[in-house]
Amino acid sequence: MGRVRKIEDEEDARRCLLAAERAGQGAGEWARAHGVDGRSLHAWHVNLARGRTALAPRRRELTPASRAHAPVELVSAATRSTGRYVLEVAGARVEFGDDASVATLRPVLEALRSC
């Protein structure tokens, strides 16, 4: 699997979403075909649909209870993984590679199990 790029700004997101629409493809399908991170494009799509942009992010105060369940993006510094895996459970999506350790995945799975 080749390296994919994230959407960098609102202009890039709008350009990609328009290209997907003109091609008659869903954003995810278009993203895969054009080397774009589908999660990044989807996040921009959702934020733009809600009227939020990078310049006007939604701000919400986290309580201790909500902080425990706040989404966190984990990005590995290692790029030598040969296999990629996606685990989707009840709307949550976890992606990991061959280089993921049990010690890393266990707390993530326990957090998903508690939802």
pTM of the model: 0.45
pLDDT higher at 76 or 3: 3
Inter-CA distances, 88 with 69, 93, 95, 112, Å: 16, 4, 9, 10
Which sequence spans correspond to the domains of the chain? 1-59, 64-113
Closest CA to 78 of 96, 94, 92: 96
pLDDT per position as a tens digit, 24-45 = 988 889 998 999 998 888 888 8
How many Å apart are CA 13 and CA 53, to the nearest integer? 10
How many Å apart are CA 40 and CA 34, to the nearest integer? 13
pLDDT per position as a tens digit, 80-113 = 546 777 777 666 777 877 777 888 888 877 777 7
Two structure tokens written together for 115: 């939802």
